[in-house]
Amino acid sequence: MSQIQGKRVLIVEDEPKLAAVLRDYLVADGANVDLIGHGDDALPALRLNPPDLVLLDLMLPGTDGLTICKELRQFSTLPVIMITARVEEIDRLLGLELGADDYICKPFSPREVVARVRALLRRSHDWQRAAGSSAQTGLDLDEDRYEAHWRGRRLDLTPVEFRLLKALAHRPGHVMSRAQLLEQLYVDHRVVSDRTVDSHIKNVRRKFEETEAGSDPIKSIYGVGYKYEPEL
């Protein structure tokens, strides 16, 4: 069965012809597709009735795609593919750390878009599996008690380490920058450096290793940041 079968995809795109072509391709692959043509309608729809994935055009009448993506990330981790009109734009967008999962540049082939949608839905399915069940990844976070267990054994984390791990484990496989992780660290906005993140991460990894020799579910991505990616 296709990864798209029965999934709900929201297309936010103000060019009706383009939106219709995308819709037809995705529907042919088994998706249920909704179209939104005005930026102001996107966030209310995303809140009210979140789809499984959103294709989000950058330039829209009303609220632009950039703002929509940023605000969406305040309340949701659902997969976002950003559509831009210029390839140079992608570097700038990446730098802004909007939290989009993938970027596609116009003009694109609808087939390519369907392939990307399929790939992203598959990845997010894996993350959900990873995040959803401690039996599958072995990580259990008790947010009330600030207690973490790894494969049944207590991980002796400080509150700061707990918050870091929680932020990473919330979206398995998704790379978070040091700046993003820094935001999770201190609620009182103490001035800390990127190096602080590195040293906390080092401690968390050491504690995983101490709890179970050879386990290292936190991966560092050189020059970018970290991700939580346990062996499934």
Binding site for Ca ion (CB under 5 A): 14, 57, 59
DSSP annotation string for 67-91:
HHHHHHHHH----EEEEES-HHHHH
Task: Output the smallest distance, CB 57 to Ca ion, in A.
Answer: 4
Residue 134 tokens read as: 């401690």
Of the pair 52, 57, the CB lying nearest Ca ion is at: 57
Residues 57/14, Cβ–Cβ less than 8 Å: yes
Task: Output the smallest distance, CB 13 to Ca ion, in A.
Answer: 6
Of the pair 11, 165, the CB lying nearest Ca ion is at: 11
- CA torsion 83-84-87-88 (nearest 10°) is -130
Residue 178 tokens read as: 């040091």
Task: Output the smallest distance, CB 25 to Ca ion, in A.
Answer: 18
Task: Output the smallest distance, CB 60 to Ca ion, in A.
Answer: 6
Of the pair 14, 34, the CB lying nearest Ca ion is at: 14
Residues 105/78, Cβ–Cβ less than 8 Å: no
Residue 220 tokens read as: 């560092």
Of the pair 92, 154, the CB lying nearest Ca ion is at: 92
Of the pair 17, 145, the CB lying nearest Ca ion is at: 17
Whose CB is nearest to Ca ion? 59
Task: Output the smallest distance, CB 143 to Ca ion, in A.
Answer: 40
Residues 43/70, Cβ–Cβ less than 8 Å: no
Amino acid at 164: L
